């Protein structure tokens, strides 16, 4: 089942533009770009958040920010396929904003209300830092 609905696109892109980006009757490029976008989101936040639950939600149960960045990523990939040297600046900017948010949430720099994985499944990372530069005399 698809995560996005046709109505989700109305806020971010006109139907004419969407038709230009995917001119097939069954909108196969949009479906493929959606799978790529959800997989990309999962790669960034899947170690901490329950992406299966996030993308299984329907209608108003979905996190609307995730819907928005999924569309941003999807549209960027469609533009990159159709006209890689003519991607609109706002599309590239929204794509970069989505990636920055995903990096911050995935690394723990920013908190999110998304459903987290149970503690036994969490795949976090441990970072050990020191205020001293590494050398043989200070620990």
Q: Convert the pLDDT of each residue in 54-87 to its tens digit.
A: 999 998 899 999 999 999 999 999 888 888 888 8
Residue 41 lies in a domain: yes
DSSP character for 61?
A: G
| Residues contacting 44, CB < 8 A, separation 6+ | 99, 102, 103, 105, 106
Domain interval for residue 63: 6-107
Radius of gyration of the chain (CA): 18
Answer yes or no: is 124 within a domain. Answer: no
Look at residue 121 and tell me if it is in a domain: no
Residue 47 placed within a domain:
yes
Query: What's the farthest any 2 CA atoms get from each other in the chain?
Result: 68
- Judge whether residue 38 has pLDDT over 80: yes
81 domain residue, yes or no: yes
Count of the separate structural domains present in the chain: 1
Is the alpha carbon torsion for 86, 42, 106, 139 positive or negative?
negative
Is 130 contained in some domain? no
Residue 26 lies in a domain: yes
Residue 84 belongs to some domain of the structure? yes
Question: What percent of the chain shows pLDDT beyond 70?
Answer: 87
| DSSP code of residue 136 | S
pTM of the model: 0.80
């Amino acid at each position: 089942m698809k995560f996005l609905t046709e109505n989700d696109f109305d806020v971010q892109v006109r139907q004419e533009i969407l038709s230009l980006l995917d001119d097939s009757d069954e909108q196969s490029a949009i479906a493929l770009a959606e799978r790529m976008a959800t997989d990309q989101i999962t790669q960034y936040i899947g170690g901490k958040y329950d992406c299966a639950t996030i993308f299984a939600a329907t209608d108003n149960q979905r996190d609307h920010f995730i819907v928005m960045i999924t569309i941003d990523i999807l549209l960027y990939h469609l533009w990159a396929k159709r006209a890689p040297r003519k991607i609109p600046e706002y599309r590239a900017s929204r794509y970069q904003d989505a990636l920055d948010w995903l990096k911050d949430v995935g690394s723990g720099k920013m908190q999110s209300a998304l459903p987290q994985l149970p503690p036994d499944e969490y795949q976090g990372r441990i970072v050990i830092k020191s205020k001293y530069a590494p050398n043989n005399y200070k620990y």
